[in-house]
Structure 1
Amino acid sequence: MKSIRKMGALAVIVAVVASLCACDGMTRRQRDTAIGAGVGGAAGAVIGGSALSTLGGAAAGGIIGNQVGK
């Protein structure tokens, strides 16, 4: 089961990195929010392994990324 979680987390990270190519027209703050949400979601998935922890990590990461981008 742990290898499936690791592969899932890796897939999320690859998807986030690939989607960052679409960040060309975003402001710095919007880009930081998106990056924070992606990293937080991946971290939540790895740490908690449930949908709730993934969503919580994405929300926390988005808020942190938004505030860092001020």
Structure 2
Amino acid sequence: MKTIQNFALSAVTAAAMLGLGACAGMSAQDKNTAIGAGVGAIGGSVLTGGSAVGTVGGAAVGGVIGHEVGK
């Protein structure tokens, strides 16, 4: 059981490091678009009870809003 927990922690840490490293070369507008898409996806999922269509729709709307705010 301890081995599985250590592996899971290592996997999450590696994913977080890769995710943070991917944002290094992004412009401020690109970062705002990505943040908007993430927040929109979470909001769309919550508002529609986990519907895939709501999640994708929320991500699209959030991405557009984040892009426009970044201008």
- The alignment's TM-score, normalised by the length of structure 2, stands at 0.69
CA shift at 1:29, angstroms?
0.4
* Correspondence 1:44-63 to 2 at 5 A: 44-48=44-48, 49-63=50-64
Give the Cα–Cα distance (whole angstroms) in 1 for the partners of residues 27 and 37 of structure 2: 15
- Find the structure with the greater CA-based Rg: 2
Task: Specify every segment of 5 or more residues in structure 1 that has no aligned partner in the other structure, as ranges.
Answer: 1-17
Which residue pairs with 1:26 in the alignment?
A: 26
* Correspondence 1:36-47 to 2 at 5 A: 36-47=36-47
- The alignment's TM-score, normalised by the length of structure 1, stands at 0.70
The Cα RMSD (Å) is: 0.9
Give the Cα–Cα distance (whole angstroms) in 2 for the partners of residues 31 and 61 of structure 1: 12
Task: Specify every segment of 5 or more residues in structure 2 that has no aligned partner in the other structure, as ranges.
Answer: 1-15
Moved over 3 A (4+): none
- Identity over aligned pairs, percent: 58
Number of positions where the alignment pairs a residue of Structure 1 with one of Structure 2? 52
Which residue pairs with 1:35 in the alignment?
A: 35
